[in-house]
Structure formats: C-alpha cells, structure tokens
Amino acid sequence: MNRIVFLAATLLGAAQPDGAIGLNARRLEETKKVTWEGGKTAVLICDMWDRHWCAGATRRVAEMAPRMNDAVVELRKRGALVIHCPSDTMVFYKDTPQRKLAREAAKVETTVPLARWQKLIPEREGKLPIDDSDGGCDDDPPCKTGKAWSRQIDVIKVEEGDAVTDSAEAFYLMKQRGIENAIVMGVHTNMCVLGRPFGIRQLVLQGINVVLMRDLTDTMYNSRKAPNVSHFRGTDLVVEHIERHWCPTVTSADVLGGEVFRFKGAP
C-alpha cells in the first residue's frame, strides 16, 4: 500500500475525530446512528466483580473483561468519564482518589427519587422474558448462593480521573459534569444492569440518554427454566426487552471496530 492510500485508510478507519463517540443505537428493528460528545458521556461498568457465587457467571465475566477494558480505554481516550460500579465492594476502594471523586459529588434533588434498587415496573415493561426466580445459575450441579465478590476484576483498569461508586453518587457526578449520555456495560442484564441506582431503569427515568453495550453483558438465566432456551438466547431476549421498553443498545464494535464480542460456545 502506498503512503497516500495508507493515510486515507487510516483516516477512514479512525472515522471519529477526537472526543466524538459514534454509535449504532439499535431499538429492535430500527438502528440510528448517533454521535455523542466524549465529555458529555459516562461509561458505567456494572458489577464486573472478581468473583461471583455462580462459577459460570464468574467465568463469563473473566472472558469478556479484556474486551471491556479495551472499550473503556478507548472511551476514556475520547473524553468519557469512566465510573466503575462494583457494588458492595466499596471498602476495597475506600482510600482511593477514584472513590473520593464520587463521594464528593454534590447531591442533586431529583423529581423521581433515586432508589437503592428500581424493581420491575409492570405498567411499563410487563414481565421479564425469562424466569430467573431461581437466581439464574446455569451450572449443573447448581452453585451455592452468597457473597463471593470483593472488588472489580483487575483486568478492567481503574485509572486516574475515573470514579468508583455503587450508589446514586454516579448520577450526582454526571450532573456535576454536565453529562447527558450514559453507556452501560457489565452484568447482569436482568438484575443489576436494570435495577441499580446507576442502572438502566433509573438513568432513563432521570432523563439521561442511555444505551446498553449489548455484547459486553451477561444474564443470570438457567436454561432449564422458562422459556427453556440456551443461556445466550436468554441474554438476547433480555436485550430485546430492554430495547423494547427502556433504551437502545450498541456494541463494542462501534467503539473498537472489528467483530462484536461473543462468548465461547455462543452461536
């Protein structure tokens, strides 16, 4: 390749000027191209713990963490605020500047209260398309439930200028910075990704433009429960539910190029 062709290819490949985040935001059949300003965007990393009580869940987090870190590095480079949200592990981060940053965000009064958990809203979303009433462990024999996590998986780097929180502080921080957009990634679609104070339901209800990165997430779903589909199909169904009732979804390929992330064994 001569130099001019190479330069042109590089420019086209890069596609985005510094600070711009181009996304293919999908809602069921419809995909819209949106461009967000890096400085007005937050990346929320939900519960990417070092360990889960479910061995299968732990394995899948470890499998997708490198790709997630790559996406986070790229989004940080474009000016997005990275907020790490490994719930119930704040003690591990208590003396870090990232924790301090979140703690010091001034509280914002909201019309819709920010709750520790926003449960399913039947009037808006009916019911989930999967039965997760057993906790969603897909292993045989099933894993024992309990608290197994102590921090975020170390593959996802916490850098200078990032924040760490597991509460409404994430929202306060976003307000303080004039952030209007949120890219949510992590686990699990049917639980924390939807319900946490930094999760999809609450951010949408607060008027934030939210997208879920649908290839960097997972579901607590046992394929022996309704609707008796594969674990990965279970995730697809919840993603569809989110697109129908809550917000668009995007993929890591929008940010990194290349192929979307797929778990080993997924179709």
Mark the segment that binds Zn ion (CB under 5 A) among 32-40, 102-110, 142-150, 246-254.
Answer: 142-150
Q: Which stretch binds Zn ion (CB under 5 A): 30-38, 51-59, 224-232, 254-262?
A: 51-59
Cβ pair 189, 217 in contact under 8 A:
yes
> Smallest distance, Å, CB 60 to Zn ion?
10
| Side chain identity at residue 217, one-letter code | T
| 56/129 with CB nearer Zn ion | 56
Contact 53, 146 (CB under 8 A): yes
22 class by beta-carbon count within 10 Å (0-12 exposed, 13-18 middle, 19+ buried): middle
CA atoms of 221 and 229, how far apart (whole Å): 10
| Residue 139 binds Zn ion (CB under 5 A) | yes
| Nearer to Zn ion among residue 54 and residue 203 (C-beta) | 54
What is the smallest separation between the CB atom of 57 and Zn ion, expressed in angstroms? 6
* Binding range to Zn ion, per CB under 5 A, among 20-28, 47-55, 167-175, 215-223: 47-55
Question: Using the rule CB under 5 A, which residue among 54, 85, 128, 174 binds Zn ion?
Answer: 54
Q: Which is nearer to Zn ion, 51 or 103 (CB)?
A: 51
When the beta carbons of 137 and 164 are compared against Zn ion, the nearer one is 137
Decide if residue 137 touches Zn ion (CB under 5 A): yes
Q: Which of 64, 143, 239, 255 binds Zn ion (CB under 5 A)?
A: 143
**Strands 30-37 and 41-46: what pairing?**
unpaired
Q: Taking CB under 5 A as the rule, which mask of x and - marks residues 179-218 in contact with Zn ion?
A: ----------------------------------------
Is residue 256 within 8 A of residue 219, CB to CB? The reply is: no
Residue 134 is a binding residue for Zn ion (CB under 5 A):
no
To Zn ion, the closest distance from the beta carbon of 64 in angstroms equals: 17
Instruction: By CB under 5 A, tell whether 220 contacts Zn ion.
Output: no
Shortest Å distance, C-beta 58 to Zn ion = 8
* Closer of 134 and 139 to Zn ion (Cβ): 139
Binding footprint of Zn ion, residue count (CB under 5 A): 6
Task: By CB under 5 A, name the one of 40, 43, 46, 56 that touches Zn ion.
Answer: 56
Closer CB to Zn ion, 56 or 248, in the complex: 56
Instruction: Report the amino acid identity of residue 138.
Output: D
Q: What's the closest the beta carbon of residue 46 comes to Zn ion, in angstroms?
A: 19
Please give the residue ranges that form the binding site for Zn ion (CB under 5 A). Answer: 54-56, 137, 139, 143
